Amino acid sequence: NAGVTQTPKFQVLKTGQSMTLQCAQDMNHEYMSWYRQDPGMGLRLIHYSVGAGITDQGEVPNGYNVSRSTTEDFPLRLLSAAPSQTSVYFCASSYSGSGGGTGELFFGEGSRLTVL
Amino acid sequence: AQRVTQPEKLLSVFKGAPVELKCNYSYSGSPELFWYVQYSRQRLQLLLRHISRESIKGFTADLNKGETSFHLKKPFAQEEDSAMYYCALDSGGSNYKLTFGKGTLLTVNP
């Protein structure tokens, strides 16, 4: 069981470039999400998905796009990178709680993105 | 809107001393509260959740609905407890948005 796998681990972009952060999980989790971690800001939810074909916005969705075509994969796309998107990005997944909610999240190792 | 406040960015204690990491939340319903921990060069992972009422690595946390708090406590800190700790709130139901606090960096000195 690899758990949650994110690629790449490090990336440097120029302003205006686009890229995709990949996230895959092999635990058959229905719920997947993307967070960004910034110093002094904690983790902030970007987008999430409760199953294949279903996505929704989190707290800070602007400038990011997601899709969920399979249960396993949940890529995060930066459409036109800006320096404000310099951050560490975490993908997380869970079974999703039986009474609703997220349940215990399992995290990837993180992807450190720098936008120049 | 739900909100989680961790008032201390940094907390430094000596080995063997008690430690308490504070967490206050704002939510009108019945939330589920979590503590997540990130050790150096490791993934974020769940430390404990209030519904399980377990003690993990000597840590406990009690949900106080009257004070809207979920403080994390350990009677005798160890050097390996040094890490970043995040409190998180899940409002449950169809709102699949786990809200994190800004985190507290705990350093346990020898």
What are the φ and ψ backbone dihedral angles of A66, each rounded to 5 degrees? -135, 160
Q: Report the mean per-residue pLDDT for chain B.
A: 92
pLDDT of the residue at B2:
86
**Residues of chain A contacting residue B100, judged by C-beta atoms under 8 Å apart:** 35, 42-44
DSSP A97: -
Distance from C-alpha of A1 to C-alpha of A87, rounded to nearest angstrom:
27
Average pLDDT over residues B26-44: 91
Q: Which of A60, A102, A111, A112 to mutate to test the interface with B (most CBs of B within 10 A)?
A: A102
User: Residue B1 — pLDDT band, cuts 50, 70, 90?
Assistant: confident
Grouping H, G, I as helix, E, B as strand and the rest as coil, residue A103 is coil
Contact B88, B34 (CB under 8 A): yes
Q: What is the pLDDT of residues A18-39, one digit of tens each?
A: 999 999 999 999 999 999 999 8
Distance from C-alpha of B94 to C-alpha of B52, rounded to nearest angstrom:
21
pLDDT of the residue at B51:
78
pLDDT of the residue at A100:
64
pLDDT of the residue at B71:
96
Q: Do A107 and B44 touch (CB under 8 A)?
A: yes
Average pLDDT over residues B75-79: 97
Q: Do B96 and A41 touch (CB under 8 A)?
A: no
Contact A24, A106 (CB under 8 A): no
Q: How many CB atoms lie within 10 A of CB B47?
A: 20
A55 touches chain B (CB under 8 A): no
Contact B48, B30 (CB under 8 A): no
Q: Do B86 and A43 touch (CB under 8 A)?
A: yes
Lowest mean pLDDT among A19-23, A85-89, B49-53, B92-96: B92-96
B86 touches chain A (CB under 8 A): yes
Contact A115, A15 (CB under 8 A): yes
User: Residue A97 — pLDDT band, cuts 50, 70, 90?
Assistant: low
Q: CA of A43, closest CA in chain B: separation in Å?
A: 6
pLDDT of the residue at B91:
80
Q: Report the mean per-residue pLDDT for chain A.
A: 93
**Residues of chain B contacting residue A99, judged by C-beta atoms under 8 Å apart:** 92-93
User: Residue A76 — pLDDT band, cuts 50, 70, 90?
Assistant: very high
pLDDT of the residue at A96:
74
B8 touches chain A (CB under 8 A): no
